[in-house]
Amino acid sequence: MERKKIVVGVIMGGTSSEREISIKTGKAVASALNEAGYIVKEILLNEDSIEAVEKEKIDVAFIAMHGRFGEDGELARLLEERKIPYTGSGPEGAKIAMDKVLTKKSFESFGVPTAEYIVLDSSISGEEADWFIKRHLSGYPVVVKPAREGSSVGVSIVDMRSELNDALSTAFRFDNKVLVEKYISGRELTCGILDGRALPLIELRPSKRFFDYKAKYEDPGTLYIVNPRLEPRLYRLCQEIALCAHIAVGARDFSRVDMILQERKVFVLEVNTIPGLTERSLLPKAAAAIGVDYQTLCIRMLEMALRRKALCA
């Protein structure tokens, strides 16, 4: 089908803490696809429902929804029920990647290296949490994260017991299940995956201690080094581990895998099945390094969904 006849619904917004970033991603994607010749409809969700999608007649959905409902596989499941093809991972892969605990279990099953961790629920006291941390993680420092949030929302690095209660309170504001993992110091790397291929690595050097929400979206002091200097064998190992992590969670078409490199050891943090596509985002930077510009990247993401539709027809 010719581009000028394909109606693309770019779905953005939602009710999660990442709504603002989702809208930025969605509008950038919509603009790129519109300039490429597609008929584009921007679909802004203000609730966890696809009623707004059902009001539009679209041939394919481009999911630009970060956070819950969009990134956890629920939106994909509802689109599948209505036989609307969509970009990115299927419901199960998205659900696993969004849930840091399920992600850890998948990594363990596939032998993907990752930091030691424990899981806590909201009924636990600070004293109990401290005991578990000392018993199972050999003490501090640790990283405390809500199990099902993205963009480092609700994440704290805890260096000592006196900081633990505040970190738990912050994380439990976003989820009743919290992941506590051993803090791994080292170089922060990310590797985009596109259509079964690992893209060039990017090293992140935030001006703060770690790559949190502000460092990702607001801090002009954050440095992004494409193709960082690494021994070739170690560079390839990072790419191979990223691709394995992508496969382990059941991601499809594209993702972004975040890692820590501590000397020569790689620790995978997470897999993002709907990575940001704003002007500051990492996947477009990695794609550009192999000659894939922003518009072409969006087209390739869309074409993978259209290809599935053709195969299923």
State the catalytic residues. 18, 151, 217, 256, 258, 270, 272, 276
SS3 letters across the chain: CCHHHCEEEEEEECCCCCHHHHHHHHHHHHHHHHHCCCEEEEEEECCCCCHHHHCCCCCEEEECCCCCCCCCCHHHHHHHHCCCCECCCCHHHHHHHHCHHHHHHHHHHHCCCCCCEEEEECCCCHHHHHHHHHHHCCCCCEEEEECCCCCCCCCEEECCHHHHHHHHHHHHCCCCEEEEEECCCCEEEEEEEECCEEEEEEEEECCCCCCCHHHHHCCCCCEEEECCCCCHHHHHHHHHHHHHHHHHCCCCCEEEEEEEEECCEEEEEEEECCCCCCCCCHHHHHHHCCCCCHHHHHHHHHHHHHHHHHHHC
Main-chain dihedrals φ then ψ at residue 198, nearest 5 degrees: -80, 125
Query: Tokens in use for 287?
Result: 């794609």
Nearest Cα to 261, choosing from 294, 278, 239? 239
